[in-house]
Chain A
Amino acid sequence: MAGWDAELADLVRDRGAALVGYAYLLCGDRREAEDLVQDALVKTFARGRRTRGADADGPARNLEGYVRRAVLTTYLDGFRRRRRWAALRHLAVEPEGVVAHEDDAVDREDLAVALRTLPPRERACVVLRFYEDWTVAQIADALSLSQGSVKRYLSDGVHRLEDSLGLLPRSRAELDGEELAIEVRRTR
């Protein structure tokens, strides 16, 4: 392997775990996360994405950005197909638990459970905002939503998480700061 296939292998070796972690936050299932990453890698490399003109972090970082975007779109495109199965999955498979640590700011097991209560777009907005550190404008652009819609998803998502986890004051404050800047229009 010396071309794109070597690039793929390098990306998996160097950033595969991080990509799966990101995918897990979106879909909430470790195996599905690995499938999502594989599908995204195949999509990205099948398109023949070139890494020339990469950003300052180098070609791998640039390529990883393409794959992360593909993970997101694959997740969102597929959620309708998965929804039916997801409604039944708990009957066949116990949700994968994570080991909690007492010093966690937010108990991870609770957080994993709470995340599963969010609808896909809401969940994507929360992950992109609070994990990927994207701005509302970036999320709106990536999801083809208005910024107002993104704000609404974020607000509703944090509310839902708080229903399970209790108040998230700093997250709430961060969100409220943006809500002041952009009027939320509940059009739907």
Chain B
Amino acid sequence: MNEDRSELHEGLTRLADLASGDSTTTRLLEHVPSMVARVRHRRARRRAGTGLAAVGVAAATVGAFTLLGTPPTPIAPASQTQTSTSTSAVPTCGAPFEAAGAAPDDVAVSVGLDGAFARPTLSVTIVNQKLEGLAVDSAAGLTVLVVDDGVVVGELRAPAVVSGELGTNQVSQYVGSRGALQTCVPGTPNGQLPDGTYTVVGLVQATVQDAPTTLGGTGLPLVVSQGSMSTPAFDAAAAQASARASAAAQDLAAQRAMLATIQDLATEPFPACGSLVPGRSPTPPPTSSPLTLALGDVLLTAQTDGAQTVTGSGLLQATTGTVPADVPTTGVIALTKVGSVVAVVAPTSATDRVEIGRTGLDVPLEGTTLLCGSDGATRLPSGVYQAYAVVTVTNPVLPTADGSMGAPGDPITVVSAPVDVRIP
């Protein structure tokens, strides 16, 4: 094509030459410091994002736990059992039954059977006290086993009794009829059990952090007499209140301990350790502010020593025009509880001169889960905290009313709206 350059090629070449012009290079060179700053921010952000596979925590969400079938009614007689989690297969009628291993107190499952064998009233109560990421598999549902001397002698499978996520300190109850109890006692017709005391166990198919799990109770007494079944009384409301009260008491104690640590430190403005959160709401900052800051995902990264680092990204934008300013290479994530900063890192002094426009500037953010004021010795207790992104820009040059640029002004601290973060 060297010899036979088309008209189009020649036209495009001249057009490109003319469009680039003599002043283009000068204008671009003026933007080199800004581009260098943007590159640094992006590189820092990429570094901050490395190794996030360890633990990822975003805004806390508590999903509704859906009760399928009959709406909840006052719980039928039953009693609470401690519950274990396992991935073992569910035994069937006639198979030996062994209770799962040590029962953690994370989740309590109670199953009660009352009434006739052919159509017993099934009652299920699940109290999730502190198991994170629990969800019940609606397809697999619930299996109720009647056990006698370590052998399954009766079973009732109740698909889709309950379904969905169950957050911590939440209770789900179901009462209704889900079919007949199938039995397999030698010498006794199917559907019947000899009088006596048995053990009834509920196995709930669930997932914990997306891993399939069977929640299994260690068993409750089941009294069979004259063709009818009953389980001891179980006060579900009391169990629920107890679980919530226990969690609330723990939370309160943790908060008191935290606030006691930081109470004498609240002398510096936000986001210093112990300082109060400015009067902000989850709504965007006022439009009169020359800059806004939006906090994206907040990620907790597990460290080899068991501690965690908090990283995130913020989008710093000018509300109107362009605001040249010295922007820190890394912003701060402040974790707060009951309105006070409880964990924050010192802001960096390294800055880049950047033109902040309406398209925004990515600012990498850093924080910590170590309680401030404790010299790094205390980790924040588990729970939900409010995270704020904070970036202080210096020497900002705000556009004037006539469109010209004024002199560098006072530092501007930009604070994002809060985002809930759950620390495990």
Contact = CB atoms under 8 A, between A and B. Distances in A.
B304 interface: no
A12 B25 contact: yes
B32 A12 contact: yes
Interface stretch (A69-77, A86-94, A99-107): A99-107
Interface string B1-37: 1001011111111111111111011011101101110
B9 A131 contact: yes
Interface in B341-392: none
Interface string A36-51: 0110011001101000
Contact of B11 (A33, A96, A106): A106
Contacts of A48: 43
B16 A131 contact: yes
Chain A interface mostly: helix
A117 to B, nearest CB: 14
Contacts of A22: 16
Given A21-B19, A24-B20, A46-B42, A38 B28 contact: yes
A106 B10 contact: yes
B21 to A, nearest CB: 7
A33 B20 CA distance: 9
A163 interface: no
A127 B19 CA distance: 14
17 contacts: A8-B36, A8-B39, A12-B32, A17-B21, A17-B28, A20-B28, A21-B20, A25-B16, A30-B21, A38-B35, A96-B19, A104-B11, A107-B11, A108-B14, A158-B8, A170-B6, A171-B9
A94 to B, nearest CB: 15
Nearest to B31: A38
B39 A20 contact: no
B325 to A, nearest CB: 18
> Which of A13, A37, A106 has the most C-beta atoms of chain B within 10 angstroms of its own C-beta?
A106
A46 B15 contact: no
Contacts of B4: 170, 174
A174 B1 contact: yes
Contact of A24 (B16, B28, B38): B16
A108 B24 contact: no
Given A8-B35, A171-B7, A171-B8, A104 B14 contact: yes
Contacts of B10: 104-106
A16 interface: yes
Contacts of A171: 6-9
A125 interface: no
Contacts of B22: 17
Interface in A1-31: 1, 4-5, 8-9, 12-13, 16-18, 20-22, 24-25, 30
B371 to A, nearest CB: 35
A46 B46 contact: yes
Given A21-B20, A106-B7, A174-B1, A42 B15 contact: no
Chain B interface mostly: helix
Nearest to B32: A9
Interface residues of A, number: 48
Contacts, number: 127
Contact of A168 (B6, B16, B28, B32): B6
A100 to B, nearest CB: 10
Interface of A: 1, 4-5, 8-9, 12-13, 16-18, 20-22, 24-25, 30, 33-34, 37-38, 41-42, 45-46, 48, 96, 98-99, 104-108, 111-112, 115, 126-127, 130-131, 133, 158, 161, 168-171, 174
Given A42-B42, A45-B39, A48-B43, A130 B19 contact: no
> Which of A42, A107, A174 has the most C-beta atoms of chain B within 10 angstroms of its own C-beta?
A42
A21 to B, nearest CB: 3
A25 to B, nearest CB: 5
Contacts of A96: 19
Contacts of A46: 38-39, 42-43, 46
Given A168-B6, A171-B8, A174-B4, A16 B25 contact: yes
A42 B35 contact: yes
B12 A131 contact: yes
A112 B15 CA distance: 7
A120 to B, nearest CB: 16
Given A16-B29, A168-B6, A170-B6, 10 more contacts: A8-B35, A9-B32, A12-B29, A20-B24, A24-B16, A46-B38, A104-B10, A107-B11, A108-B14, A170-B4
Nearest to A9: B32
Contacts of A41: 35
A33 B28 CA distance: 11
Nearest to A112: B15
